[in-house]
Amino acid sequence: MKFKVLFFFYIVCATTFSQVGGETIFNFLNVPTSARQAALGGKVLTLYDDVNQPIWNPSTINQELDNKISINYVNFLADINYGSVNFAHFFSKRFGTLHGGITFVDYGEFIAADENGIETGTFKSRDLAASIGYARNLPWSDFYVGANFKLINSTIDTYTSSGAAFDFALLYYNYQKPYVITAVVRNLGYQINAFDEIREPLPLAIEIGASYKLENIPLKWHFTIDNLQQWNVSVENPSDAESNIGGNTSNKKITFLNNTFRHFIVGAEFFPDRGFNLRFGYNFRRARELRLTEIRTFSGFTAGFGIKLGKMRFNYAFSKYHPTSNSSTFSLQIDLNSKIR
């Protein structure tokens, strides 16, 4: 019975940031830890020059990421702490580049109790994922294919669950073109060890992304269509409830168009090639499901900036969820090959 109490706390944490209804395990894999990505709406897939991007899109692994390392920290909701470390190394023209990443989550400390509600102490819960990725250019083309392999572990007190997953991606990139297009299948895998003898599916995500850099304005647009593996992602918002003359309440019906927009994320990056960048994003699904009718919450909006200091680049992102719940993301990227000028 003690296990059921522990598992309840874990479900509460997991569904806080689940992608489609909280029906999967290891949902932390779908929370961005990169400040640049978070500032652009949370799911941008076309950052070809960012060592953090291959965790979400392995086809972006390329020689330009050689010996770049990034350390990221997210002050998430309910005092949950996220973090990740990413590194890439170019070996040779024949072999190419390998990318490695580690993502961890610390949910903090919880009170443990038995079936009678008697406290028995405290326990902690943590998640961890380690990945390795590789990409290749398809011969005589501007298409790149990439894959990640991930080992995943979750711990609740003395209970553990582990899994393995793959990411697969296809990218079109030509440095002479102003646009980048990609398609990604993420978290295709299996829960090896279950918490309660019942295996759960991993948070599979099928996504399409694109970016376009304007010619005469220092602005790059980013677009993402996510959760294509499940078209109906709509969840009723209690704030949309209506009352009739008899005092009965009911939620508004979610239309086809309303559900469609919930798959879209839009981001804008100003001065993308300069030493200082400004970024903004909008997540339609987050905005709709967390909005309140009687107060403007600005949920779904994200913003941030990046600044280059010699061989280092610092990025910050602010994500709005609710009037009382915000998230800040910090990233520090270091180019180990760069010389200070």
| Residue 317's CATH number | 2.40.160
Mean pLDDT of 312-338: 88
For position 129, what pLDDT does the model report? 97
Q: Which of 280, 293, 307, 289 is nearest to 249 (CA)?
A: 293
Does 217 fall in a domain? yes
258: three-class secondary structure by DSSP? helix
How high does pLDDT run on average in the chain? 86
Q: Which of 42, 100, 75, 34 is nearest to 227 (CA)?
A: 42
Burial profile 275-285: b = 16 or more Cβ within 10 angstroms, e = fewer: eebbbbbbbbb
Does 340 fall in a domain? no
Cα–Cα–Cα angle for 320, 323, 328, rounded to 5 degrees: 35
267: DSSP letter: E
User: Where in the sequence is the domain holding 68, given as residue range(s)?
Assistant: 2-335
Joined together, the tokens standing for residue 246 give 């008899």
In this prediction, residue 109 has a pLDDT band, given cuts at 50, 70 and 90, of confident
Does 275 fall in a domain? yes
Q: Is the pLDDT of residue 12 over 70?
A: no
Does 283 fall in a domain? yes
d(CA 295, CA 94): 58
Q: Which of 174, 229, 176, 183 is nearest to 210 (CA)?
A: 183
**What is the total count of domains within the chain?**
1
Lowest mean pLDDT among 5-9, 202-206, 274-278: 5-9
Lowest mean pLDDT among 58-67, 71-80, 114-123, 276-285: 114-123
Joined together, the tokens standing for residue 249 give 């309440």
In this prediction, residue 22 has a pLDDT band, given cuts at 50, 70 and 90, of low
Q: Answer yes or no: are the C-beta atoms of 287 and 303 closer than 8 Å.
A: no
Whole-model pTM: value is: 0.84
pLDDT higher for 295 or 301?
301
Does 341 fall in a domain? no
- Write the pLDDT tens digit of every residue in 201-255: 999 999 999 999 999 899 999 999 999 999 888 776 665 655 555 555 656 677 8
- Write the pLDDT tens digit of every residue in 57-104: 999 999 999 999 999 999 887 778 899 999 999 999 899 999 999 999
Q: Is the pLDDT of residue 8 over 70?
A: no
Does 133 fall in a domain? yes
284: three-class secondary structure by DSSP? helix
d(CA 329, CA 314): 11
Joined together, the tokens standing for residue 286 give 């987050």
For position 13, what pLDDT does the model report? 42
Residues whose CB is less than 8 angstroms from the CB of residue 131 and which lie 6 or more positions away in sequence, other chains included: 55, 99, 100, 101, 102, 103, 148, 149, 150, 151, 167
For position 111, what pLDDT does the model report? 83
Q: Is the pLDDT of residue 11 over 50?
A: no
Joined together, the tokens standing for residue 268 give 């804008």
For position 264, what pLDDT does the model report? 94
Q: Which of 4, 81, 13, 30 is nearest to 202 (CA)?
A: 30
Mean pLDDT of 308-325: 86
For position 323, what pLDDT does the model report? 66
